[in-house]
Amino acid sequence: QVQLVESGGGSVQAGGSLRLSCAGSGYIYRNYYMMGWFRQAPGKEREGVAVIDSDGSLTYGDAVTGRFTISLDNAKNTLYLQMNSLKPEDTAMYYCVADNRKWWFRPQYVYWGQGTQVTVSS
């Protein structure tokens, strides 16, 4: 069974940092074409945060460019999202996603984690 499991969320003050992790099965990390992170705040639609292509190229949403960094450790089958200079508007549930098709920031990925909550206070 294919699973993605996020961890690393929590509460932090504005300006602080968090690192999210997404552990998955080896199948996903051997066969993905695109992996990434989405987030959803209460009352808002899911928003693409960052994605990594199978060729290693990285794409970031406008709201996080320059503050967040996505990376992949294939040896550990783990996807990361380093979040710096956090703002209250970054508060959301963060989801790890993966697929063998390239959806970029369209929320049509087949595989989703259960989410990890990030709360940033001012």
Instruction: List alpha helices for 6-101, DSSP H.
Output: 26-31
Cα 71 to Cα 45: distance, rounded to the nearest angstrom = 24
* Distance of alpha carbon 44 from alpha carbon 40, whole angstroms: 6
Judge whether residue 46 has pLDDT over 70: yes
CA distances (Å), 62 to each of 8, 46, 66, in order? Answer: 23, 14, 9
* Dihedral, CA of residue 39, residue 33, residue 105 and residue 96, to nearest 10: 0
Contact by Cβ (8 Å): 25, 77: yes
Residue 1: pLDDT band with limits 50, 70, 90: low
* Mean predicted lDDT score pLDDT of the chain: 94
| Amino acid 2: pLDDT | 72
For the stretch 66-95, pLDDT in tens is 999 999 998 888 999 999 999 999 999 999
Cα dihedral 33, 39, 40, 46, rounded to 10, equals -30
What's residue 86's pLDDT? 98
Tokens of 51: 């994605």
pLDDT classification of 15: cutoffs 50, 70, 90? very high
For 94, the enclosing helix (H) or strand (E) is strand 92-99
Q: Is the pLDDT of residue 21 over 90?
A: yes
The rounded distance, in Å, linking the Cα atoms of 29 and 101 is 13
